[in-house]
Copies of this chain bind each other. A is one copy, B any other.
Amino acid sequence: MRDIPRATVGRLARYLQSLAEYGRPTVSSEEIAEAVGVNAAQVRRDLSYLGHQGVRGVGYDAEHLRGAIMRELGLLETVGVAIIGVGHLGQALAGYGGFLDRGFSVTGLYDIDPDKVGQTVQGFPIRHLDLLDEDARAGLFAIAIIATPAEHAPDVLDRLGQAGVRSILNFAPAVLRPPSAVEVRNVDLSTELQILSFYRTHRH
């Protein structure tokens, strides 16, 4: 059950979402595959990493499967999330409705601007970036979102790494080079737009 491939981890999160919207007690690999847009054999292979085998002609116990994926992804407890950089993007993320019912709770906002530190956004006080290390070690958050301007992102990455934070979502338009123990996922909006630009001029 160890050594789950990276791509499988990504798909497990998408399977979980399809199960959240699913109403019936059993679900087939075909139904999950259809909802997520992969093939059913892939679904079965991915779920076998969790030690789950569907029953032929019946499928998987949906609630059971949901619990197993949540356990594997570490989502059985609410996960604290810190947001670094409280500009418009940081504020948008602090108020983003999609986190709440998916097991995440924003537990800290950090900035270096003296005009912002001490203010409250979406009910959260903004703390100075210098407290990041202390707060991470105290277990206030396990995932950090970098929402700073690009030029500050490498410094923030360093601070997070030193504080032992290993899961980072990066919105800054900067290429980060994390140490190997740290997982950074980049939300690169410009690359998304460039991909979309292709479809603007080409038919499917």
Given contacts A16-B194, A187-B189, 12 further A-B contacts (CB under 8 A): A9-B198, A74-B200, A87-B92, A88-B91, A97-B150, A99-B190, A103-B194, A103-B197, A104-B190, A143-B196, A169-B192, A181-B204
| Residue in chain B with minimal CB distance to A35 | B175
Closest 10 CB pairs of A and B: A98-B173, A88-B92, A167-B196, A183-B199, A89-B92, A13-B194, A102-B190, A74-B201, A167-B200, A88-B91
CA distance A88 to B122 in the complex (A): 11
Residues 65-83 of A at the B interface (beta carbon under 8 Å)? 72-75, 79, 81
Q: Does A116 contact B (CB under 8 A)?
A: no
Contact of A203 among B181, B194, B202 (CB under 8 A): B181
Q: Does A114 contact B (CB under 8 A)?
A: no
Q: Given contacts A92-B87, A195-B9, A195-B10, are A190 and B73 in contact (CB under 8 A)?
A: no
CA distance A166 to B88 in the complex (A): 27
CA distance A190 to B101 in the complex (A): 9
CA distance A63 to B173 in the complex (A): 22
- Taking Cβ atoms with an 8 Å cutoff, the residues of A that contact B are 4, 9-10, 12-14, 16-17, 21, 72-75, 79, 81, 87-89, 91-93, 95-99, 102-104, 142-143, 149-150, 166-169, 173, 175, 180-181, 183, 185, 187-204
Please state if B10 and A73 are interface contacts (CB–CB under 8 Å). no
Please state if A183 and B204 are interface contacts (CB–CB under 8 Å). yes
Please state if B81 and A13 are interface contacts (CB–CB under 8 Å). no
| Residue in chain B with minimal CB distance to A143 | B196
Please state if A13 and B79 are interface contacts (CB–CB under 8 Å). no
A160 to chain B minimum Cβ distance, whole angstroms, is 12
Q: Given contacts A79-B193, A103-B194, A169-B192, are A143 and B200 in contact (CB under 8 A)?
A: yes
